Structure 1
C-alpha cells in the first residue's frame, strides 16, 4: 500500500481485485481506496456515497452514445482532492471493487452480530 497520511493508522484489507484494494482504518474510522496507483481516504458515509455515485453511472448509455462526451465519466468525490476520469472498463472495475468491499463490510457486521451470544441463549 502506498504511503498513508497517518503513520499510526491501523489498516486492514477489506477487499482486493486486480484493479485495486479497499482498506479500513479502525484508528481513524475511515476507508482507503487504492486505485490507479493513487490512494484516497473516505469517511464511512462518504465511501458509501461514492459507491452509490459509481453505481449510478449509466454504462449502457456510455456504450451506445457516439458523442465524445460519453466516452468518460468524471467523478469528484466529496471531501477529497481526487478526480476520477473513468472509461467504461474503469467504471466496471471500480464497481466490482466497491461491491466486494461493501459485501465484506456487511458480512463482517453479520458475523459480529451472530457471535454476540445472549447470556440466556446458553441455557436454552
Structure 2
C-alpha cells in the first residue's frame, strides 16, 4: 500500500487548501505544475517535521512571489529576504497537516538556540 500524505497547498492568490499527495506517483509535480521542484526543510515547533516544496525555476519563469509561503519560510528560518515564487506545497513527514496546523505555524514564534524568540 502506498503512503498518501495530507498537506497544505499554498497558492499565490487564493486561500490555502488541503491536498492528498502520493509522492511516489509524482503528485508534487502535478500539484505545482512543474517538473523542477525544490524543497526546503522547515524547523517547526516540536512535533512537526515540515518540508515546503516549490518550483525551483519559479523566479526565472517570472512567477509571482507567494506571500504566505514566503512568510512561513522567513518566520521559520529567522531570516528576511527569502522569496518563494509561485504555488507551494507544505508536507509533514509524519502527520496529516490541517489548515489549523498551518494557521498555528504562521503565528508560532521561532525560538532560537539561546532562547530568544523572533515574532513576525
**The TM-score by the shorter chain falls in which range?**
under 0.3
Select the structure with the greater relative contact order (CA < 8 A; seq sep ≥ 6): 2
Q: What's the TM-score once normalised by structure 1's chain length?
A: 0.24
What TM-score, normalized by structure 2, do the two folds share? Answer: 0.25
Higher helix share: 1
Work out which of the two has the higher radius of gyration on C-alpha atoms and give 1 or 2: 1
